[in-house]
Amino acid sequence: MIENVTPALIDWSRAQFALTAIYHWIFVPLTLGLSFIIAMMETIYVRTGNEEWKRLTRFWMTLFGINFAIGVATGIILEFEFGTNWSNYSWFVGDIFGAPLAIEGILAFFLESTFIAVMFFGWNKVDKKFHLASTWLVAIGANLSALWILIANAWMQNPVGMVFNPDTARNEMVNFREVLFNPVAVDKFLHTISSGFLLASLFVLGISSWFLLKKREEWLAKRSILIAAIFGLLSSLLVAFTGDSSARTLAKTQPMKFAAFEALYDGKQDAGLVGLGILKDSEEEEDTKKFKEFLFRIEIPGFLSVMTDGSRDAFVPGINDLVYGNADSTVLPVTEKMKRGKIARDFLNNYKAAKIQNETETAEAIKKVFQKEDFLNEYFRYFGYAFLDKPEDAIPNVAVSFYTFHLMVILGFLFILVCLIALYLVLRDKIEKNRWFLRVAFISIPLAYIASESGWILAEMGRQPWIIQDLMPVSVAVSRISAGSVMTTFILFAVLFTALLVAEVSIMVKQIKTGPKH
Amino acid sequence: MTTLLISYLFLQYYWWIIVSLLASLLVFLMFVQGGQSMIYSLPDTDLRRSMIINTLGRKWEFTFTTLVTFGGAFFASFPLFYATSFGGAYWVWIAILFSFIIQAIAYEYRSKPANILGKKTFDLFLFLNGALGPFLIGTVVATFFTGSQYSLNLLFSVKWATPWHGLEALINGRNLALGLAVLFLARVNGLLYIINTVDDGELLEKSVRKLLINSVSFLVFFFFFLVTLLLAAGYAVNSETGKVILEKYKYLHNFLQMPLVLIIFLAGVVGVLYGIAVTIFKNSRKGIWFSGAGTILAVFALFLVTGFNGTSFYPSSYHPPSSLTIHNASSSEFTLKTMMYVSFIIPFVVAYIWYAWRAINKKRITGEEMEGEDGHVY
């Protein structure tokens, strides 16, 4: 049995994780947002005592339950896959990464699962206020769950608050606050949950529009649209604001991802932001997979520079600058980073050798080097580069990064408009007359999912080859299993998830068609 | 002051206790799985099957969440175990995962119209999870005592020494005995839970009858595992040199050298037996409280025996120096301490779970409830 690290093993392991994450993310954003929408509806019911609002609450709650179960099922696999498929990663960063995961379980999952039981089974068993409180706690619990896993993910994108311990050959946490308030984590959390709120709002808006198109349940549909439009509009603005802030942070923490999603090869001052564009393979370069150029583009002049540093004079490094270096703007070439990474790796190997041979003095001397700030900042921070074969390995898939980014942004702006129009029409009580808009709202449902998945594909594929930015490439993190085994489990998961998704969608459609119970 | 009291060593013990506690809660909560493994054999009508599935279904998420939290806490406090066992014993963990994915949706989807796969398939999912989940988890936990075949290199990267990647645990008699013991214990607890929560005379009678055979099966496998455990050699770690050696009667020594753990263990076994006995001989419907508490105590003690007193909790029979202990596999002192502060919230979590559980279980499940329009019925 071949258990060496082969490209096939890395690809199948990545494919399996991507499959699980993408499936998981079909269900989570709806949970994040719909839980709050239900809580708002139930609040109105408890305040007014109007049974119609209870009927409305329960209708959306049924859809929530169908969606929730499958999110839970895919979530547990993600958690365990860190160990099963990325075992070296689990050790290298488990000291930092594990903590948010454990806290998530203790603080958030129990909150969610305890009160979801009350929410579903408690209508006739507990009083109205306890039930309402439970519904709110489910919403808070769901969003708290997202908080902790996003802190963990943000740390992979921008590792902070740790030192490397050569004895254990791993990174160890020294500052929990830095991990929690990692700027990437703050942006990521707000951007992710607000996008979940937006997706759920568009879901409610779209389905309610379908009811209006069918001339059914008009009272309930209009109330749902009102809530969804207000919540959706506020969320969409927050999505835009936090997206902008994420991009600014990204320019500093992951400049390669930043350059890749704009397909910016040669860095410049007064760089424009591409609003729309189509890429083609570059003819000049040999490795056409990695090098692209524009077939056509529409650009907002100077805006990318402004995003980076608040001024049009700001220099935005391109992919070529980041790979081959740029002396003027002090960007280190990847070859230099590889050299420094290898020096850090040699220090670690020499330390291990000295320990085995009981050369205590040598070992102590090397260990002291690992505690020096200069060494950490100038050498160890490039540790992962030691494992790259060639500088171009540091380039992510530019086409995927570019298209997912632009798709997400364009759709994001479209959704602001959809929510705005919905709010205007429902307040003017003209919504059912504008059937074109009802159709647009309905089509927005799949678009919201596409935008949401695009965001994650950009976040994760845009940072390749890193599993932990600059410190560990995926090739080092992967578990030593045969590629065939991972391929087999990939296929098993793919078949099972797809079967469950088909069942889920079918049940959901049936419940929607049946409509709220009387 | 606190830094003096809370040493690294203390934190490693503390977190092993938390992990043991979560493991013991998980085994108790697998009464849900135990019950699921009897959905074909226990009820004689569809209505009764629905009643069983619904009473279990109101608790499935607790089991699931405990499993997830157990995984998260284990990762955070002993990441080398996570890296070694999950990455090495790949297939057995994947099998466990599979058995749990199919559970999560089965409850919610089984009786929904247009569910594509059909009620029978979802019920089969419940059965498979019920039978395989406890059995596989029990088998894997047995390797904490019997050992696995792996080695770690200088950078702590795991190499599994068999191509079976974890499935080899299934051909060891002692592992199988614990797997089956956990399965039958889950079934015993499942029956006691059904007896406690369902209002149906015939179901009650049948459950009590079934309890006897399941209890005997549990005891046979459990005592087989226990006796072989007490007679077996175990991997002991020298606290000064860190060297791992095979010590005769290691686990027997652990029980004798930690009398409090022995007392907890015996109290647990007595609790389980008492829970069974009052149900069979006194027609009590409260047996689950005793057997549940007993399960928690006994499993908790077994976990302490495998981790404390200089024992390797995840030994490598292939390369003993690679064996994991609560000292060499743990997170850093800083991480353990940070998480310890977070763990102080656990009593609060337990309190609200208790409160919500009581609120939902006040009334027993009846046949009418299954057909009523007002509830959320699985």
Q: State the DSSP string of A9-47.
A: HHHHHHHHHHHHHHHHHHHHHHHHHHHHHHHHHHHHHHH
pLDDT digits (tens, 9 = 90+) for A335-369: 999 999 999 999 999 999 998 898 999 999 999 99
State the CB neighbour count (10 A cutoff) for residue B20. 21
Asked if the model's pLDDT at residue A124 lies above 80, the reply is yes
Q: What does the pLDDT read at residue B141?
A: 96
**Computed from CA positions of residues A251, A254, A255, A260, in that sequence, does the dihedral angle turn out positive or negative?**
negative
User: How distant is the Cα of B203 from the closest Cα of chain A, in angstroms?
Assistant: 22
Three-state secondary structure call for residue A300:
strand
pTM: 0.93
- A268 at interface of B, judged by CB pairs closer than 8 A: no
- A454 at interface of B, judged by CB pairs closer than 8 A: no
Instruction: Answer yes or no: do A134 and B353 touch at CB < 8 A.
Output: no
Cα-based distances in Å from A15 to A7, A8, A457, B100:
12, 10, 12, 21
- B72 at interface of A, judged by CB pairs closer than 8 A: yes
Asked if the model's pLDDT at residue B367 lies above 90, the reply is no
Asked if the model's pLDDT at residue B278 lies above 80, the reply is yes
- B87 at interface of A, judged by CB pairs closer than 8 A: yes
Instruction: Answer yes or no: do A503 and B115 touch at CB < 8 A.
Output: yes
Q: What does the pLDDT read at residue B374?
A: 58
Q: What does the pLDDT read at residue A280?
A: 83
DSSP code, position B84? I
Q: What does the pLDDT read at residue A290?
A: 60
Q: What does the pLDDT read at residue B168?
A: 94
Asked if the model's pLDDT at residue A288 lies above 60, the reply is no
Q: What does the pLDDT read at residue A444?
A: 97
Average pLDDT of the segment spanning B163-172: 93
Q: How confident is the model at residue A38 (pLDDT cuts 50, 70, 90)?
A: very high
Average pLDDT of the segment spanning A126-145: 94
Please check whether residue A10 is in contact with residue A474, taking contact to mean a CB–CB distance below 8 angstroms: yes
Q: What does the pLDDT read at residue B366?
A: 81
Asked if the model's pLDDT at residue B3 lies above 80, the reply is no
> What is the spatial distance between Cα A467 and Cα A475, in angstroms, rounded to a whole number?
9
- A121 at interface of B, judged by CB pairs closer than 8 A: yes
Average pLDDT of the segment spanning A177-186: 93
Q: Rounded mean pLDDT of chain A?
A: 92
- A498 at interface of B, judged by CB pairs closer than 8 A: no
Nearest CA in chain B to A352: B154
pLDDT digits (tens, 9 = 90+) for B178-234: 999 999 999 999 999 999 999 988 999 999 999 999 999 999 999 999 999 999 999
Q: CB within 8 A of A389, min separation 6: which ones?
A: none
Asked if the model's pLDDT at residue B339 lies above 80, the reply is yes
Contacts of A75 in chain B (CB under 8 A): 68
Asked if the model's pLDDT at residue A259 lies above 90, the reply is yes
Q: Please tell me the least confidently modeled range out of A326-330, A455-459, B297-301, B351-355.
A: A326-330
- B165 at interface of A, judged by CB pairs closer than 8 A: yes
User: How distant is the Cα of A348 from the closest Cα of chain B, in angstroms?
Assistant: 9
List alpha helices for A326-434, DSSP H. 334-356, 360-371, 373-378, 398-427
Q: Which tokens sit at A293? A: 């150029």
What percent of chain B shows pLDDT beyond 70? 98
Considering only CB atoms, A105 lies closest to which of B73, B90, B158, namely B73
Asked if the model's pLDDT at residue B36 lies above 90, the reply is yes
Average pLDDT of the segment spanning B53-63: 91
Q: What does the pLDDT read at residue A239?
A: 96
Instruction: Answer yes or no: do B58 and A125 touch at CB < 8 A.
Output: no
- A491 at interface of B, judged by CB pairs closer than 8 A: no
Average pLDDT of the segment spanning A491-504: 95
What percent of chain A shows pLDDT beyond 90? 75
Cα-based distances in Å from B339 to A50, B76, B210, B346:
45, 8, 43, 11
CA A35 to chain centre: 19
Q: CB within 8 A of B192, min separation 6: which ones?
A: B31, B211, B275, B276, B279, B287, B288, B291, B292
Q: What does the pLDDT read at residue A330?
A: 79
Q: Rounded mean pLDDT of chain B?
A: 92
Amino acid, single-letter form, for residue B147: G
